[in-house]
Amino acid sequence: MSQRKTLLVVMGVVLVAVAAVLALLLGAAFGALSLVLPWSTEISMTEPVEPPVVGTDVEPAPADAAPASTANSEDAGAPTTDTASGETPQPTVTLADMGQPTTTSTAAPQPTSVPTSAPSGKAQIVTFTGNPSPADPAGMLTLNWTVRGAHSVTVSWVDKNMENAGHRQLPLSGSLSVALSSVKFSGGDHVQFWLSAQDANDQVIVDDNGEAVAKRLSVPLMTDLRIDTFTVTPNPVERGGKVTVTWNAPGAESVGITPVSPDGVFLTTVAHDLAASGSFEIQVPEEFVTSITYHLWARDANGVAQGAYATVGIICPYEEYFASRCPLSRDHVEAAYEPFERGHMVWRSDTREIYVLYDDGFYQTHEDTWHEGDPVDIEGTPPQGLFAPVRGFGNLWANQQEVRDALGWATAEESGYAMLLETVPGGSGRYGGIGVYFTLPDGRVVNLYPFSSTWEFVP
């Protein structure tokens, strides 16, 4: 019996020891996990928050925080990227955890401390200013703000590397100094910052219209740079001809020239690192048919930029045309045509393509795979007064049920004619597609829209 008691005591001691070891191991494991799991980065909003260093990554102000502007502070909008002048795109706020600093230019001073509190009433940005204005692009800018009805604020900007940077969980009223040498200049001669209001869950507050409570601040930059003259000659110019651009931009360290499409898209820069004044000869691309615009951008030693535009007309080589504007080409092409119950078929000899024009306004382009002597097998017999298509039209009609069902039978026999065909540039400004105009045997003009695959008769 005594041996059994002794054994039980020993077993109890061993169990206690094992439990203690397990507890120590679990504690160590949870301690290690706390270094990597998301909850280790959570910050209690009731505790003082150490302000991050200037340049710390953050998702800046929301792109949908929008319109109206004043001389000092603007509602957050979405500026269009200007690849020539350096226009800064507006960042978007999703307020993820702060990343590691991407720049270490100048540490941000401790913001003026005002205790944060839970939102009371509607959030409102009372003031958001920057001093001095205009600012020295190589100096410091002090941001000041006052916000009501929020829990904290985020101040953000875009750095020189086009990455989001800034501070989050800042007090509702305070100030912050930023080294402008680390900030991307917007539009070349301004610098922009965004301020957004956050709730206790660190989410951007939205107003009654569903828009973010946020403001954009645009501060002008000091510079001696100016563009005195920028001309392009001759005006107008022959299509595909050459123009001479002449400029004078005192204070510029470098100058560049970029053509702009009719839709406002900046194309490939044709000249850069030019002197502050001079002239340069440029070949006009053939695809510009009515006019061409050139953008001159100039930058000073601090990276401040200014821009100017000059437009010249282009002489149309055709005296007459039925396209909506001067066409890229105007040619006579051997063609064939056949009308159907619910549409038309048109064949082009130059490309060996068949246009199928449906009465619902859509069209398809098919390769003509038929060759002289190939058999065409048509199932069924057309009703009286209607016809079965032959040759290339018949081959397509017989082998494409979709085409056959949509068009029905032909209402007349195929006929050949001389098509007058014009092409025009289309697309998004980079001429990604070509619009087509052509005549039918009866003189009517068809306009094909390649991007929507639709067609219409030109009035």
Distance CA 250, CA 300 (A): 9
Domain pair 73-220 / 229-315, same fold: yes
Tokens describing residue 186? 């917007």
Distance CA 64, CA 439 (A): 47
Q: Residue with structure tokens 């119950």?
A: 341
Distance CA 58, CA 284 (A): 44
Return the CATH fold of 73-220. Answer: Immunoglobulin-like (2.60.40)
Residues 133, 24: contact at Cβ < 8 Å?
no
The yes-or-no verdict on residue 211 having pLDDT over 90 is yes
User: Which pLDDT value is given to residue 253?
Assistant: 95
Give the mean pLDDT of 266-281. Answer: 92
Distance CA 154, CA 198 (A): 7
Could you read off the pLDDT of 295-306 as tens digits, one per residue? 999 999 999 999
DSSP letters, 81-119, are P-TTTTPPPPP---------BS--SSPPPPPPP------
Residues with Cβ within 8 Å of residue 311, at least 6 apart in sequence: 232, 291, 292, 293, 294
Domain segments of the chain as ranges:
73-220, 229-315, 329-457
Tokens describing residue 50? 């150490």
Going by C-alpha positions, the residue among 231, 196, 166, 186 that lies closest to residue 82 is: 186
* Secondary structure of residue 47 in the 3-state scheme: coil
- Band of residue 262 on the pLDDT scale cut at 50, 70, 90: confident
Could you read off the pLDDT of 44-82 as tens digits, one per residue? 222 222 223 233 333 333 333 333 333 333 333 333 334
Residues 343, 357: contact at Cβ < 8 Å?
yes
Give the mean pLDDT of 326-338. Answer: 96
User: Which pLDDT value is given to residue 19?
Assistant: 53
Which residues are 348's β-sheet partners? 335, 353
Give the mean pLDDT of 338-344. Answer: 98
Residues with Cβ within 8 Å of residue 276, at least 6 apart in sequence: 248, 249, 250, 251, 252, 253, 255, 298
The yes-or-no verdict on residue 442 having pLDDT over 70 is yes
Residue predicted with more confidence, 321 or 429:
321
The yes-or-no verdict on residue 399 having pLDDT over 50 is yes
Residues 269, 257: contact at Cβ < 8 Å?
yes
The yes-or-no verdict on residue 89 having pLDDT over 90 is no
Residues 215, 128: contact at Cβ < 8 Å?
yes
CA 381, 383, 385 angle in degrees (round to 5)?
125
The yes-or-no verdict on residue 282 having pLDDT over 80 is yes
Residue predicted with more confidence, 73 or 170:
170
Residues 79, 90: contact at Cβ < 8 Å?
yes
Residues 407, 340: contact at Cβ < 8 Å?
yes
> Which of 76-85, 135-144, 316-325 has the least mean pLDDT?
76-85
CA 222, 223, 224 angle in degrees (round to 5)?
140
> According to CATH, what is the number of the domain 229-315?
2.60.40.1930
Residues with Cβ within 8 Å of residue 321, at least 6 apart in sequence: 327, 330, 422
Could you read off the pLDDT of 91-132 as tens digits, one per residue? 433 333 333 333 333 333 333 333 333 344 589 999 999 999
CA 245, 251, 254 angle in degrees (round to 5)?
55
Average pLDDT of the residues of the chain:
78
Cis peptide before 234 (omega within 30 of 0): yes
pTM of the model: 0.61
Q: DSSP assignment, residue 24?
A: H
- Band of residue 264 on the pLDDT scale cut at 50, 70, 90: confident
Phi, psi torsion values for 40, nearest 5 degrees: -70, -15
Phi-psi region at 144: left, alpha or beta (left = phi > 0; alpha = psi -120 to 50): beta
User: Which pLDDT value is given to residue 106?
Assistant: 35
Residue predicted with more confidence, 208 or 20:
208
Distance CA 368, CA 272 (A): 48
Residues with Cβ within 8 Å of residue 282, at least 6 apart in sequence: 242, 243, 244, 245, 257, 259, 270, 271, 294
Distance CA 140, CA 130 (A): 10
In the Cβ-directed half-sphere of 57, how many Cα atoms lie within 13 Å?
11
Distance CA 78, CA 140 (A): 25
